[in-house]
Amino acid sequence: MSADEREHSTRPFEFQSRLNLTLLTGIRAHDLAELVRHLKTAPGAVIYHHTHHFLVQHQFLSPEPPNDFAYWVTHILLEERLGEELAAIDILRFNTIRSLRDALVEVIDAHLDQTAELRTAPPGTEFHFMRSVSFVLPTGKRVGSLKEFHDALALVSLGSLAYHMFDARLRLENGDNDFSQWIEHELNQGQLAAELRALDPYTYTQEGLRRRIMIAIELRLGS
């Protein structure tokens, strides 16, 4: 441990958890033109839902496309090239839902500019726009040291992991994940914080992400 690093923080880290309830908008898209039209006006909670619920509902799919748009375009409309482009959008590049939406729209619009005929989804496979309502609740786990942090991380729900790693950065627009924030500012361990910040959480399964973070901390604790 270097001189500036602290073993204990004066401000403990409080693990929160997040539970989502899915709301239906009743809006459906049958083809790409309808998809992009609704995308342009959909509330942020809709964009968030379709780019993040996959992480929890289909964990085994990761590292497959983490967003519903890519899945629908690839597997229902069979537009594989566009599906690949949508799946490849690097969500970590964006700090707001609005900018993520703009990127999705831009990719689809560019495709539509070069497409004369639109494929229509077979009946029963339309795209249903939905929205996530998030409930944030305390877990009661408060930790002061990196060791305590590590041990608590092993026990918290995946909703807690998702809240601090995904929602804090993008949905709450904090610009960073909560773990890196606390480790950097409260424990003065900039290198570990940077390491966690550099992880692409969208490429892991949720349990895989938890293990990856824990290993990074274990290496630090062991050094």
Partner 1 sequence: MDQRLANYGSVVGDAVIDELRHLGERLAGKRVINVNSTRVGGGVAEILGRLVPLMREIGLEVRWEVIRGTEDFFILTKNLHNALHGASVAFGPAEREVFNEVTNHNLDTIDLQADVVFIHDPQPAGLIRARDQHGGKWIWRCHIDVSAPAAGAWEFVAPFVQHYDMSVFSAPQFARVLDIPQVLIAPSIDPLSDKNRELTQSEVEEALARLGVRSDKPIVTQISRFDRLKDPIGVLDAWRSARRRFDCQLILAGGAAVDDPESVQVLKEVRERADDDPDVHILDLPPTSNVEINAIQRASAVVIQKSLKEGFGLTVSEALWKKKPVIAGAVGGIPLQIKHKYSGILTHTVEGTAFWIKQLLSAPEFAHRLGENGHAHVMNNFLLTRHLRDYLLAFLFVADGNKDIIQL
Contact residues for partner 1, defined by CB under 8 A: 17, 19, 21-27, 43-45, 56-61, 64, 75, 124-126, 128, 130-140, 155-157, 159-160, 171-172
140 contacts: CB under 8 Å, gap ≥ 6: none
- Cα-based torsion angle of the residue sequence 218, 219, 220, 223 in order, rounded to the nearest 10 degrees: 120
Strands (E), 30-154: 127-145
Residue 85 has a CB neighbour count (10 Å cut-off) of 17
Nearest approach in angstroms of CB 86 to partner 1 is 17
Nearest approach in angstroms of CB 44 to partner 1 is 7
Residue 218 has a CB neighbour count (10 Å cut-off) of 13
Which is closer to partner 1, CB of 187 or CB of 209?
A: 209
Nearest approach in angstroms of CB 22 to partner 1 is 4
Nearest approach in angstroms of CB 106 to partner 1 is 24
Which is closer to partner 1, CB of 16 or CB of 181?
A: 16
174 contacts: CB under 8 Å, gap ≥ 6: 168, 181
Q: How far apart are CA 32 and CA 38, in angstroms?
A: 10
Helix (H, G, I), strand (E, B) or coil at 12: strand
Nearest approach in angstroms of CB 18 to partner 1 is 9
What's phi and psi for 14, nearest 5 deg? Answer: -105, 115
Which is closer to partner 1, CB of 17 or CB of 180?
A: 17
Element (H, E) at 70: helix 68-75
Contact of 105 with 36, CB cutoff 8 Å:
yes
Q: Give the residue among 159, 168, 160 at the shortest CA–CA distance from 53.
A: 159
Nearest approach in angstroms of CB 135 to partner 1 is 5
Which is closer to partner 1, CB of 24 or CB of 88?
A: 24
Which is closer to partner 1, CB of 43 or CB of 175?
A: 43
Nearest approach in angstroms of CB 28 to partner 1 is 8
Which is closer to partner 1, CB of 143 or CB of 192?
A: 143
Which is closer to partner 1, CB of 111 or CB of 128?
A: 128
